[in-house]
Amino acid sequence: MSNPQRTRIKMCGFTREADVDAAVQAGADAIGFVLYPPSPRNVPIERAAELAARLPAFVTPVLLFVNDRPERIAQACASVPGAVLQFHGDETPEFCAAMSLATGRPHLKAARIPLESAGDFDLVKFAQSHSTAQAILLDAHVDGFGGGGKTFPWSQLPPNVEAHLVLSGGLTPANVTDGIRTLRSHGRSLAVDVSSGIEAGKGLKDAEKMQQFVAAVRAADNAS
């Protein structure tokens, strides 16, 4: 019996036109652009705007920020129409809510889950404090911010989070099915976010891996 809930897919860390086109062709629902200069996947705002302009209707651009300035966030929003904001650093709930209000854009907030002690992270409290977020993105706490290719112990998360959830952190075509099965019922809904798991190199995507990832997500949907 097929599952009535279709798992949404975000692919993140794009730097090349051909990769954006291949992600859309594979079936991505959202395409993420990293606006964090220390990241190997970083692109300037102008480059993010060029790449986002390739997206067809109903594929959402997402702009990833880490502890950035309000002025730069506003500039990026002005350059990329319709983008969702993703706050991946130490931004406070008040800052995130204020930026959504100022830009008129919804936002995602990353929760950085400890690799060794995921059960010690109070995700219920975190979601309550970030109640204005469109979703809480679950990522592994690694040095730097995101894209580390590490998973955290999914089963240690609480089963009753009052938020839409986005599973991230070390997802690949080989493990995303298990991730969806483990966490599907833990929040209001579950989406997935992949970066390193669909790459040939940092910021360089692999079209075949993107297709395999989407196929694995659909297999999880159809198995429920």
DSSP reduced 3-state for 193: strand
| Tokens found for residue 105 | 């854009």
| 53, 82 Cβ separation under 8 angstroms | no
Active site residue 96: no
- Alpha helix locations (H) across 109-175? 123-129
Residue 78 burial (CB count, 10 A)? 11
- Measured in whole angstroms, the distance separating CA 7 from the mean position of its chain's CA atoms is 13
Q: Which of 29, 68, 139, 193 is catalytic?
A: 139
DSSP assignment of 62-127? EEEESS--HHHHHHHHHHSTTPEEEE-SS--HHHHHHHHHHHT--EEEEEEE-SS-GGGS-HHHHH
Question: Tokens 């298990």 sit at which residue?
Answer: 178
Of residues 150, 153, 154, 165, the one with CA closest to residue 195: 150
12, 19, 68, 77: the catalytic one is: 12
Residue with tokens 């219920």: 124
Task: Judge whether 68 counts as a catalytic residue.
Answer: no
* Residues forming the active site: 12, 139
